Amino acid sequence: MRKLIVIALVGLAAQLVDGSLGMAYGLTSSTLLLLAGVAPAAASASVHLAEIGTTLAAGTAHWRFGNVDWRVVRRIAVPGAIGAFAGATFLSALSTESAAPWMAAILFTLGAYLLIRFSRPLRRNPAAGRLRGRFLGPLGLVAGFVDATGGGGWGPVATPALLVSGRMEPRKVIGSVDTSEFVVASAASLGFLIGLGTEGFLLPIVLALLAGGLIAAPIAAWLVRIVPAQLLGAAIGGVIVLTNARVLLRAGDLGGAVPVIVYVLLAAGWITALTLAVRVLLRTRRERALAATHTTDALPGTPEPVTAGTHSTPTTLG
């Protein structure tokens, strides 16, 4: 019972992160399940089954807060579902011994990507025009496949790609990716059902993850407007990297001083990424405050702004 309560809390925390960043529910949950000794295919299957409920709740909440671009959802969800079904079938066919390092390697790579991505700023370029189907289709296909085989990855692949394009508001990128993930999670679950049967789903774990995620979904859709995602993304990336490094080191049968050296280097990289993320966040806030001051000064008859005791709104996604 205690284990299920812990898993429910993890599901809650993972959904808060996912709803605020547009990624990391599957990464966080799958990493914990692997750490607890759950077979890779069963871990991914259980997480995706839980995600059917959490993504439906998250998508509804994002829609109500106006965070969804339905055109993008339509063009990325179907290819994503095809990729997820193929990935689930592929992972189901692997033995546990082969799947564990594969899944840990994917999670490690995505965690490292989060560290790099959120340690630097992101600029929006709305003048570039709308996103095209020839970009969204392949993106959805790749993201869906990685998501199913890695136990997570839809957000870490799709969200940064859409953000880097600079053609959507960050909150709409997050809302659209979270909403389309409902279709992706459903397709992955169908693939695991065909490949593993009903015994592939650990229902107590599914229900625990679902309970935590459903509680967090509406909160996360609101938090996306105020949480400094720059710092949150770097923090979660470091946790995922360090946790999955342990699985990879065991798979490589590396002993002696090697694990210690690897952990020290990874920890140093994590601290560096966090430091850079904080610097980017503070610089962005200063730039916005300065821009607001210039705008106020440019208006005739506007009184001098009061600087003492003011509080700037936290920025999201750099």
Per-residue pLDDT reduced to its tens digit, 190-218: 998 988 888 778 888 888 888 887 777 67
Cα angle 214, 119, 6 (rounded to 5 degrees) comes to 30
pLDDT at position 313 is 41
Three-state DSSP class for residue 202: coil
Please name the residue that has the structure tokens 């798979």: 251
pLDDT digits (tens, 9 = 90+) for 40-83: 778 888 888 888 887 887 788 888 888 888 999 989 999 999 99
Q: Specify the pLDDT at position 141.
A: 92
Residue 125: pLDDT band with limits 50, 70, 90: low
216-243: per-residue pLDDT in tens? 767 766 666 666 767 767 777 787 788 7
Whether 196 contacts 45, CB under 8 Å: yes
Q: Does the pTM exceed 0.85?
A: no
